[in-house]
Amino acid sequence: MAAQSKVAFVTGANKGLGFETAKGLGELGIAVVMGSRDEAKGRVAADALRSAGIKSVESVRFDVTRPEDHREIARYLQERFGKLDILINNAGVHIEKADFGNPNGFNTTSKTTPEELHQTFETNFFAVVALTQTLLPLLGKAPAGRVVNLSSVLGSLSLHSDPSSPIYDKKSFAYDASKTALNAFTVHLAQELRGTRIKVNSAHPGWVKTDMGGEAAPMELSEGGKTSVQLATLPDDGPTGGYFHLGQPLPW
């Protein structure tokens, strides 16, 4: 399938990791639809990509927590393209107060409120599941559908329970648990879709200098979209149901 005929939808695409992912896909000649809660900021982001030489890019107002927006984007993609090749579930939130740059670590578990848990899971898990389910029929119309769920190494139970791991003393409970749940969705959906042309994988972008990651992060923003782009463009014999960072598998 020619790259020029592929269509990708990226949520939370007007800045940060979403913007870098949209840019990386656009540079490959893939038509990119950028979802943004703020319509004006989305237009600015799309204009920036066009100025960078990416020809096929557009922005739509999209809030991942609104079911009506799920239905509207499905209608739009069907009428505009008739299919969807790539879904990047990038939009996410981190609500708890956690100092990611603290060398002594942090643990928010005993202080995390029910409201923080509900708000975090609504965006990072429940909305992702609902949107993916809504768009699966369009992904099924593509010659090679790809779903990329933006997870985090902080969703790894194996690493969180290992005292020798680099994240052992970095525990932001609501955020971490939402990404663990998202990883479970990846595994379950990939198994259900085995034998189809759709691949589903979780991506850890790395600790990146974003609004969430902060200036202490070792990776530049320009590197942040690379894992998502890799998983979005996997060949037919590529993996599904996996958890990766820059091509390397992570422990669940």
168 flagged as catalytic: no
Which amino acid is it at 248?
Q
Active-site choice (6, 83, 175, 243): 175
Torsion of CA 152, 158, 161, 162, to 10 degrees: -100
Q: What is the pLDDT along the chain (252 residues), one digit of tens a residue?
A: 344 489 999 999 999 999 999 999 999 999 999 999 999 999 999 999 999 999 899 999 999 999 999 999 999 999 999 999 999 999 999 999 877 667 778 999 999 999 999 999 999 999 999 999 999 999 999 999 999 999 999 999 999 999 999 999 999 999 999 999 999 999 999 999 999 999 999 999 976 545 554 455 455 667 779 999 999 999 999 999 999 999 999 999
Structural domains of the chain ordered from first start: 3-249 (3.40.50.720)
Angle among Cα 78, 131, 88 to the nearest 5 degrees reads 85
* Cβ atoms of residues 231 and 192 within 8 Å: no
Active-site choice (23, 170, 179, 226): 179
Please tell me the pTM assigned to this model: 0.93
76 flagged as catalytic: no
Give the contacts of 47 (CB within 8 A, at least 6 positions apart).
none
Taking Cα atoms as reference points, which of 25, 79, 64, 71 lies closest to residue 178? 64
Q: Please state, in angstroms and rounded to a whole number, the distance separating the CA atoms of residues 144 and 219.
A: 30
